[in-house]
Every structure is written in structure tokens, then in C-alpha cells.
């Protein structure tokens, strides 16, 4: 304690990181001290620790600090900025007493508690932002902060302590969050500049003297949940002329709670609770100010659907809605609906309502039922869905589904959406029109200087005949079509879009054939191939059947659709595998490939080598000393097998299903 007290020549201090506690008065009256850093490890700061250090201009309180002693920074007249990061500090009694030049007091985002008296008397503060993590504001926390004009209390705050904002005469408005259940005694007393206060819906008690002397208040609303208001709570609120009381259960009042307000002050109370307030002992002195007239009650009238009908207020007694006033409402149904009852159970139409509070009344209409028939113009080429009985204004999805090689064209009302969202407005028949698919045929010569091609049309319905004819020019010969057909003229049934090339060759030129096959047609199919001249290109495709996928071609290419350059007759084999992991895993060793094909284990690249296949019991089920390509091993049943090729040490686990 007092280790460096009165060291007026001391200008800066470095406190080592191992320090966890700063004792009482170690630096008080060190007026030359302009800079000090409090280590993050410090958990407590003693009383008068830096009192009268008039040269200090800023200070940061670390997050670990849990207690700050009395007057720890008192009379630091040069202090203008404080960063308070203590997450859970529980005591800081007048820690910044008479530090009237502090204008910037910030809180860390993780601060949960604002301790009592923390900012007591900081008249230089004009605004403060309380972090969202704060749940409680301690007693006297901002007492006598007379320059404070703005403060936002976060939604997480559940309690506001006694005198928390007392004598904050510059404060003009405050909103008490819904999480707060009680407001402490004197919490806002003598906040004379306060003109607006919003009290959260969860508040159940308002303490004594809470708003004492708030002369700028002209009106206040007491939420429905309040059960008690302390003595002198609104005493000497000289401008208060209207108090809106929402509680239907009369709250208890302390002595002189609303005394010394304006002469024409009124209490607006719930209509149905007038007798309860009037006869309650605590409200005896205010019974002549109780008022239930001219209350701006609201009545909301509505229909259970805007499509079914409308509701109107036929008549209402008076300009404003009075307690037990009458309102006549009328429900007018649409031609497609019938009024059934009101939401209050009444069936009269018009109906007379007696109001004692805000009201909502809904007219319940019953819609007519209509039949929607969804049909196909030809059931052999397309089907539809969506027919049924529906309420007026129901939205129904109708769908037209064409058979293979046909397509949906439109509905009979011209709409082309499919699926379509149809709104039911009456009995209706909707017909889907389908048409046969149209395909394009395009036949061309491989070289227009060698010959020409004619065809019987360009667009054809599915399975319609098309005839193409190739005519060679002098010096050239027609060698066939790119799909391998040599007929000329060539007539075929159109089943898809067709691209044909007529191959014209000169003497000495050759045409080569590309053949595509599936290793197992039960797993996948292939298309493409045909004929081309040397250097020409042909596109080939492999498509897995449902439940299977393409793996590779026999030349190890893994593109399911590819264009190959032709330099001779060639065959491409496509291999497939199950999507569920069934089949045989592909391996690669010494360019040896193993695949599944129609219940067989097929080896490629193993010619001249010994091949042995074992089951999971270690029994050899197949052996060959010199395999031929490809080597096919028939498997009698599903299971897991081991394959050994030649002297290769690796064995491959193969699953066959």
C-alpha cells in the first residue's frame, strides 16, 4: 500500500503481467503520472489506487477485474476516456468520483453487469451505449450524470437498480425493455428533462419514488402486468395529465403515488374494470379522475378469406368508441360463398356488438364446392392429373404427362404452363392437347465437290419414313452412309434427330468402320459409331441403365460421350458398374483390367499369363496357365473373390452380385 504515493515526478508505470492485484493507494497523488497499463491478469484494484493522479487522461479496465475499490480513480481531473471491459465486476463504489471531465466511457461487448456507483456523478457524459450482454444495472450506476441525454438499455436487462439514473436531468427519453420485471426505487427520480418513457410489458412492480420529480412527463402507460406501484412513484410529475392504466386487475398504490400532478390529470382505465378501480381503497383519492370515456378503442372486422366475402361496420355510437358502446357489423358474402357465423359464435347478420375493449371479429364464410375435370385429348398419347372436387378459390396443380415420342402442347384455354397452378372459380373442364414428336433429318456429303445428297424433307413425325439419296460426281464413288448403311437410296423410319453424311471416295481411298458395343447390355447401352474416311471423326456414347453407371471404354477413356478420330476399323467396348457398389472393382496392374460382365469375371491384358480365382474360403474355383484375351471366368454364385494374375503379389478382392 502507498508504494508510490505522492511521487509527483513519476510519469509512467509498467505493471508486469504476473501482477493479479493492485493494492490500496499505491499511486495516489502521483500527479505527474500520464500513462499506466493495467495487465490483463489483474482481478482487483484497491481503494484510492490511482486517486488524484491528475495527469492521467485515459485508462482501460481489463476483463478479469471483479472488484474496484472505493474511489480508486477519484479526482483524476485530467481523465477524459475510460474503457471498461470487466465482464463480471461486482463492486466499484464511486470508482470515478469527481472525474467530471470524463466524456467517453465505453463498455466491452462482453460486460454482463454494470456495478453500483460505477459512473456516479460523471456529469461530463452526454451519451452511453450499454452492451447487449448486460443483464443488470446496479444501484446508483449513473446517478447524477446530469449531462447524459441518451441511453439505450439492452433487451437482455432484467433489473434496474435503485437510483440507477437518478438526477440525469438531461435525459429526454427512455425505453425499459420487456425483460425487466421490476424498476428500482428512485431509479429515474428528478429526471426533469424526461418527456417520454416506455415501460416494458414484463414489469410487475414500479418502486417507490421511481419517477419522482419527472416534471417533463405528460403521459405514461402502465402495462397490464403491473401489480404494484410504490409510494411517491410519480409524485411531483407536474406535467403529467394522462395515465393509461392497462391492468384489468387493480394494482396496489403506495402513498401519494400520483400526487402533485396537473389539476386536470385523468386515468384511462379498462372499461370492464371501472367499478374495481373506483371501489379500491388505494385508489380512493383518485376516484374522481378515473375516466373510461373517450377511449380510443379499436374494432377490427375481417373475413376468414378475402375471396369469400367482406365485412362492414354499419353503425357505431359516437365518434370514439365508448365503454359498452354498440357497433353493428354486417357480413356480405361473395356469390360463390355463404356466410355461416361470426368468430364470437353469433350467427346473426347483421350482428350487434357491445364493446368494453379492443375487439376483433371475423366473419366465417363457407365456400361453394366445384368440380374440376382434367382430361387428355387422346389418352393413348398422354395422361393428366388434378381432377376432383374443390373449394372456391382453391389453387390446384394440374399436370399433363406425354407418352414416349409425344409432347404436351397446351391446355384448351390457351395456357401452356405444365405443371400449372389452376385457381378454382367454378365447375370447369380443362383439356390437355398432346402431339407426336417432330424430328429433324440433315443429310450432307462429306465433300460437296465429290457429290450431292437429296432428301425427302427436313422435319418428320416420329416413325415417318425419310428417303435420302447420294449422287457421286465424276471421278468419285459413293461408299456408304456415316451410320454404316450402304443402301442408296436409303429409306428409314425417323425415331430421333438424324445427322447423316454421304461418304464419297476417290480411287485408292478407304472407308473405315467404328463399332461400339456394351460389355453388358443389362447394365448399359451404347450408341454412335459408323463409318468415316481416314482422319474423319465419329461421336460415340455410353449410357448406364437404371441402377448402373458407365465406368470406362476398353481403351481406358472415361468420357461417356466422346469424339474419336478414325484411322482404321476399330471396336470400342463400354463397361458399366452398379450404383450400389455391386459388380467387380476395376484394378490396374501391369495394364491388366478386371471388369464384370453378365455374371462373369472378365480379364483383359492377361494373355499368356496364369490366372487363378479363389473364393473367400480360399478354394480355387478357376485356374488357367496361359490366358487368352479376354479371359472369362463364369461365377456360379454371388460373393467376394480373389484374383491372382501371374506372379504378381497383389490380389484383388472382387465383388460379384
pLDDT tens digits, one per residue of 458-474: 999 999 999 999 999 99
pLDDT, mean of residues 110-128: 94
pLDDT, mean of residues 204-211: 96
pLDDT over threshold 80, residue 120: yes
Range of weakest confidence among 373-377, 486-490, 543-547: 543-547
Calculate ∠ Cα 233-198-121, nearest 5°. Answer: 65
Residue 650 binned pLDDT confidence (cut-offs 50, 70, 90):
very low
Cβ-defined contacts of 323-328 (< 8 Å, 24+): 323/271, 323/272, 323/274, 323/292, 323/293, 323/295, 323/355, 323/356, 324/271, 324/354, 324/355, 324/356, 325/354, 325/355, 326/352, 326/353, 326/354, 326/355, 327/299, 327/352, 327/353, 327/355, 328/352, 328/353
Residue holding cell 424430328?
Answer: 439
pLDDT, mean of residues 424-438: 96
Coil, strand, or helix at residue 578?
strand
492 vs 137, 273, 497, CA distance in Å? 90, 93, 12
Instruction: Provide the pLDDT for residue 206.
Output: 95
Range of weakest confidence among 193-202, 270-279, 388-397: 270-279
Percent pLDDT > 90 in the chain is 69
Instruction: Provide the pLDDT for residue 110.
Output: 94
C-alpha cell at 96: 470515478
Residue 587 binned pLDDT confidence (cut-offs 50, 70, 90):
very low
pLDDT over threshold 70, residue 219: yes
pLDDT over threshold 70, residue 581: no
64 vs 58, 268, 419, CA distance in Å? 19, 50, 64
148: Cβ–Cβ under 8 A, 6 or more apart, which residues? 125, 126, 127, 128, 142, 165, 168, 170, 171
pLDDT over threshold 60, residue 226: yes
pLDDT over threshold 70, residue 1: no
> How many other CB atoms are there within 10 angstroms of residue 465's CB atom?
11
Instruction: Provide the pLDDT for residue 621.
Output: 79
pLDDT over threshold 80, residue 357: no
Q: How far apart, in whole angstroms, are the C-alpha atoms of residue 197 and residue 244?
A: 12
Instruction: Provide the pLDDT for residue 318.
Output: 43
* β-bridge pairing 639-645 and 325-333: unpaired
pTM over 0.85: no
pLDDT, mean of residues 340-360: 86
Residue 439 binned pLDDT confidence (cut-offs 50, 70, 90):
very high
Half-sphere exposure of 360 (CA within 13 A, CB side): 5
pLDDT over threshold 60, residue 657: no
Residue 319 binned pLDDT confidence (cut-offs 50, 70, 90):
very low
Sign of the torsion formed by the C-alpha atoms of 195, 199, 204 and 210:
negative
Residue 584 binned pLDDT confidence (cut-offs 50, 70, 90):
very low
Determine the distance from the C-alpha atom of residue 231 to the mean position of all C-alpha atoms in its chain, rounded to a whole number. 49
pLDDT, mean of residues 21-30: 91
Instruction: Provide the pLDDT for residue 616.
Output: 59
Percent pLDDT > 70 in the chain is 90
- Determine whether 520 is exposed, middle or buried from the number of CB atoms within 10 Å of its CB (0-12, 13-18, 19+): buried
Task: Tell me 282's DSSP state.
Answer: G
Nearest to 466 by CA among 438, 436, 503, 504: 438
521: Cβ–Cβ under 8 A, 6 or more apart, which residues? none
pLDDT, mean of residues 377-393: 96
* Mean confidence (pLDDT) of the chain: 88
pLDDT over threshold 70, residue 482: yes
pLDDT over threshold 70, residue 398: yes
Amino acid at each position: 500500500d502507498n508504494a508510490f504515493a505522492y511521487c509527483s515526478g513519476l510519469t509512467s508505470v509498467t505493471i508486469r503481467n504476473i501482477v493479479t492485484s493492485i493494492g490500496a493507494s499505491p499511486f495516489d497523488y502521483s500527479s505527474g503520472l500520464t500513462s499506466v497499463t493495467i495487465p490483463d491478469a489483474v482481478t482487483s484494484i484497491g481503494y484510492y489506487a490511482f486517486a488524484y493522479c491528475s495527469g492521467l487522461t485515459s485508462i482501460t479496465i481489463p476483463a478479469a477485474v471483479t472488484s474496484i475499490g472505493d474511489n480508486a480513480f477519484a479526482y483524476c481531473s485530467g481523465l477524459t476516456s475510460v474503457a471498461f471491459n470487466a465482464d463480471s465486476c461486482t463492486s466499484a463504489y464511486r470508482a470515478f468520483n469527481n472525474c467530471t471531465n470524463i466524456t467517453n466511457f465505453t463498455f466491452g461487448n462482453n460486460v454482463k453487469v454494470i456495478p453500483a456507483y460505477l459512473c456516479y456523478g460523471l456529469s461530463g457524459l452526454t451519451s452511453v451505449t450499454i452492451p447487449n450482454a448486460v443483464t443488470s444495472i446496479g444501484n446508483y450506476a449513473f446517478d447524477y450524470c446530469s449531462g447524459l441525454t441518451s441511453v439505450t438499455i439492452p433487451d437482455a436487462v432484467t433489473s434496474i437498480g435503485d437510483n440507477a439514473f437518478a438526477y440525469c436531468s438531461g435525459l429526454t427519453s427512455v425505453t425499459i425493455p420487456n425483460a425487466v420485471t421490476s424498476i428500482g426505487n428512485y431509479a429515474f427520480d428528478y429526471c426533469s428533462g424526461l418527456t417520454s418513457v416506455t415501460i416494458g410489458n414484463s414489469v410487475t412492480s414500479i418502486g417507490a419514488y421511481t419517477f419522482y420529480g419527472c416534471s417533463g412527463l405528460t403521459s405514461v402507460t402502465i402495462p397490464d402486468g403491473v401489480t404494484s406501484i410504490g409510494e411517491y412513484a410519480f409524485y411531483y410529475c407536474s406535467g403529467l395529465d394522462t395515465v393509461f392504466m392497462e391492468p384489468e386487475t387493480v394494482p396496489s398504490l403506495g402513498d401519494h403515488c400520483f400526487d402533485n400532478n396537473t389539476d386536470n390529470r385523468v386515468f384511462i382505465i379498462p372499461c370492464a374494470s371501472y367499478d374495481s378501480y373506483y371501489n379500491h381503497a388505494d385508489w380512493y383519492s383518485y376516484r374522481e379522475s378515473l375516466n373510461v370515456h373517450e377511449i380510443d378503442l379499436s374494432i377490427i372486422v375481417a373475413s376468414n378469406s378475402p375471396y369469400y366475402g367482406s365485412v362492414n361496420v354499419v353503425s357505431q355510437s359516437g365518434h370514439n368508441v365508448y365503454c359498452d358502446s354498440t357497433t353493428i357489423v354486417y357480413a356480405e358474402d361473395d356469390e360463390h360463398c355463404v356466410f355461416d357465423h361470426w368468430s364470437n359464435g353469433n350467427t346473426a347478420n347483421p350482428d350487434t356488438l357491445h364493446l368494453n375493449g379492443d375487439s376483433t371479429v371475423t366473419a366465417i364464410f363457407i365456400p361453394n364446392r366445384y368440380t374440376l375435370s382434367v382430361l387428355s385429348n387422346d389418352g393413348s398419347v398422354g395422361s393428366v392429373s388434378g381432377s376432383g372436387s374443390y373449394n372456391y378459390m382453391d389453387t390446384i396443380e394440374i399436370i399433363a404427362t406425354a407418352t414416349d415420342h409425344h409432347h404436351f402442347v397446351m391446355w384448351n384455354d390457351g395456357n401452356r404452363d405444365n405443371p400449372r397452378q389452376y385457381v378454382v372459380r367454378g365447375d370447369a373442364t380443362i383439356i390437355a392437347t398432346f402431339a407426336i414428336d417432330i424430328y429433324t433429318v440433315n443429310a450432307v456429303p462429306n465433300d460437296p465437290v465429290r457429290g450431292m445428297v437429296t432428301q425427302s424433307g427436313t422435319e418428320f413425325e416420329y416413325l415417318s419414313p425419310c428417303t435420302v439419296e447420294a449422287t457421286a460426281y465424276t471421278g468419285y464413288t459413293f461408299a456408304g452412309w456415316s451410320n454404316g448403311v450402304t443402301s442408296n437410296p436409303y429409306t428409314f423410319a425417323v425415331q430421333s434427330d438424324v445427322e447423316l453424311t454421304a461418304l464419297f471416295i476417290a480411287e485408292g481411298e478407304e472407308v473405315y468402320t467404328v463399332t461400339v458395343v456394351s460389355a453388358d447390355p443389362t447394365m448399359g447401352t451404347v450408341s454412335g459409331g459408323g463409318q468415316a474416311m481416314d482422319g474423319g471423326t465419329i461421336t460415340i456414347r455410353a449410357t448406364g441403365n437404371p441402377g448402373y453407371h458407365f465406368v470406362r471404354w476398353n481403351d481406358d477413356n472415361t468420357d461417356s460421350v466422346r469424339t474419336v478420330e478414325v484411322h482404321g476399323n476399330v471396336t470400342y467396348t463400354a463397361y458399366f458398374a452398379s450404383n450400389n457398389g455391386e459388380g467387380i472393382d476395376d484394378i490396374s496392374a501391369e495394364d491388366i483390367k478386371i471388369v464384370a460382365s453378365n455374371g462373369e469375371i472378365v480379364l483383359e491384358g492377361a494373355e499368356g499369363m496364369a490366372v487363378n480365382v479363389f473364393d473367400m474360403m480360399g478354394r480355387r474355383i478357376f485356374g488357367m496357365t496361359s490366358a487368352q484375351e479376354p479371359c472369362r471366368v463364369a461365377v456360379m454364385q454371388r460373393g467376394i473373390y480373389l484374383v491372382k494374375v501371374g506372379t504378381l503379389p497383389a490380389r484383388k478382392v472382387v465383388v460379384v452380385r
